[in-house]
Amino acid sequence: MKKNLITVLIAAVLVVIFALLLFTFQVRQSEIVVVSTFLKPTRSINEPGAYFKWPWPIQSVSRFDQRVQNFEDKFSENLTADGTMLLTSVYVGWRISDAGKFLLVIPGGSVPAAQQKLEQMLRSAKAAVIGKHNLSDFVNADPAQLKFEAIENEIKTSVQNELAANYGMSIEFLGIKKLGLPESVTQTVFDRMKSERTKLISKAQNEGIKEATIITSGAERQAADVIANAQAAATRIEGEGVAEAAKTLSVFQQNPELAIFQLKLEALKNSMNQKTTLFFDETKPPFDIFRNLPGNPPTK
């Protein structure tokens, strides 16, 4: 009796497990699931958890990775607007945005098949965008003249619109990874870069010379102003001295003895200091001014 009960319980558990496998499915955190009814996508689920479905062949479940897929295309040759052959390669981060559409368009919902389709679209988009830009937008001695970001956005926009409309895919990021030049044009490009660098050096030198000229001219102008002011001040002082000398000369001309006395005093002052002791002959100039001073005996 007990043996039959255990057998029944085991059978019941197996039936429950089998029913769960037939009528339920689980969605993981990193997955997006498409439920198809009679092979036609009817429901997309990207929230993790357990869900109900009808057993096959009524309904089937297709699972996709909803994380960003990294992809790098191959080197491809394209002509720039000025007729230079340029080799380019881009890196792309893409993800599934509409799993139902993705399942219908991409055979079996295969990621490699999706990336093959993406590479074809990138090749066409790069040819169209690069053909609108000159080589100087990619290779330039002046970093300010480079247009990498604008070119990357043009390629991304071109591919993004077609992917979203027809393939249920979206591009998260896109950038130029590699640039190359065929050997036939490498030397020409180097020569052009050298010429552009020479122009930049010449421009910088000319600006330096111009700035130096401005500074030199300003310094010379300031020096000329200082010299002119000094000369004017010297002329004024000299004029004042001449005028003062003219006044003194008229006085001395009227009284020559006073002039002689003044000269003797200056000579005496120049020969003495605070601690000078003099022994002199009062009969000799300029010491003869001490003769006939009050209190001195008259000189014979």
pLDDT in tens, 108-117: 788 888 999 9
Cα three-residue angle 46-108-52, rounded to 5 degrees: 40
241 CB-near residues (< 8 Å, 6+ apart): none
pLDDT in tens, 8-44: 677 666 766 665 666 777 777 778 887 777 777 777 7
pLDDT in tens, 237-294: 877 766 666 666 665 566 666 566 666 666 666 666 656 665 555 655 655 555 555 5
The whole model's pTM is what? 0.53
CA distances (Å), origin 291, targets 61, 93, 279, 299:
143, 120, 14, 7
Q: Is pLDDT above 70 for 151?
A: yes
Q: Residue 171 burial (CB < 10 Å; 0-12/13-18/19+)?
A: buried
Domain ranges of the chain: 2-65, 69-181, 186-254, 256-290
CB 90 within 8 A of CB 70: no
What Rg value do the Cα atoms of the chain yield, rounded?
53
Confidence of residue 78 (pLDDT cuts 50, 70, 90): confident
The mean pLDDT value for 219-233 works out to 81
Q: Is pLDDT above 80 for 79?
A: yes
The mean pLDDT value for 54-73 works out to 82
pLDDT in tens, 254-264: 666 656 666 66
pLDDT of residue 136: 85
Q: Is pLDDT above 60 for 295?
A: no
pLDDT of residue 153: 92
Q: Is pLDDT above 60 for 296?
A: no
CA–CA dist 261, 53 (Å, integer): 139
SS3 call for 296: coil
Between 242 and 56, residue with greater pLDDT: 56
CA–CA dist 75, 10 (Å, integer): 61
For 76, the enclosing helix (H) or strand (E) is strand 76-79
List the structure tokens of 72.
């790098």
CA distances (Å), origin 284, targets 249, 256, 277, 279, 288:
26, 19, 17, 12, 5
SS3 call for 112: helix
CA-nearest of 61, 62, 29, 64 to 47 is 29
Alpha helix positions (H), the chain: 2-23, 99-105, 111-130, 148-166, 183-254, 256-270
**Residue type at 135?**
L
So what's the architecture of 69-181 in CATH? Answer: 2-Layer Sandwich (3.30)
